Structure 1
Amino acid sequence: ELYEALGVIGEQAAVCHRRSNCKQNVNVEKGDETIKGTNIAQKAAQEAKAASEAQQMAGQLAAHQVKTQLAEKAEEAAEAAQAALAGKEAIVERLEAEIREAESELKNEMGELEEAQQHLQTSMEGAQGAEQLLKVMQAALAEDQKELKEIEELVEEAQMIRNEREKLVQSTSLRLQELKGRCGSAHEDLKKTKAAEIEAFGAAKAAHEKA
Structure 2
Amino acid sequence: MAATDLTLYATPVSVYCCKVRVGLALKGLDWTELPPPGGYGSAEYREIVPQGTVPALVQEGFVLAESDAILEYLDEIGAGAPLLPGTPRARARARALSRFVDTRLEPAARALFAFVGGAPVPGDRRDALLRHLDTLSALAGPGPYLGGDGPALPDCGLFAVAEVLAMLGRVLRLPLPDLTGPGRAHPVAGPHLRTYAGVLTDWAKGKGAAA
Relative to the length of structure 1, the TM-score reads 0.23
Between the two structures, name the one with larger relative contact order (CA 8 Å, sep ≥ 6).
1
Larger radius of gyration: 1
- Of Structure 1 and Structure 2, the greater helix share is in 1
Output the TM-score relative to the length of structure 2.
0.23
| Greater strand fraction, Structure 1 or Structure 2 | 2
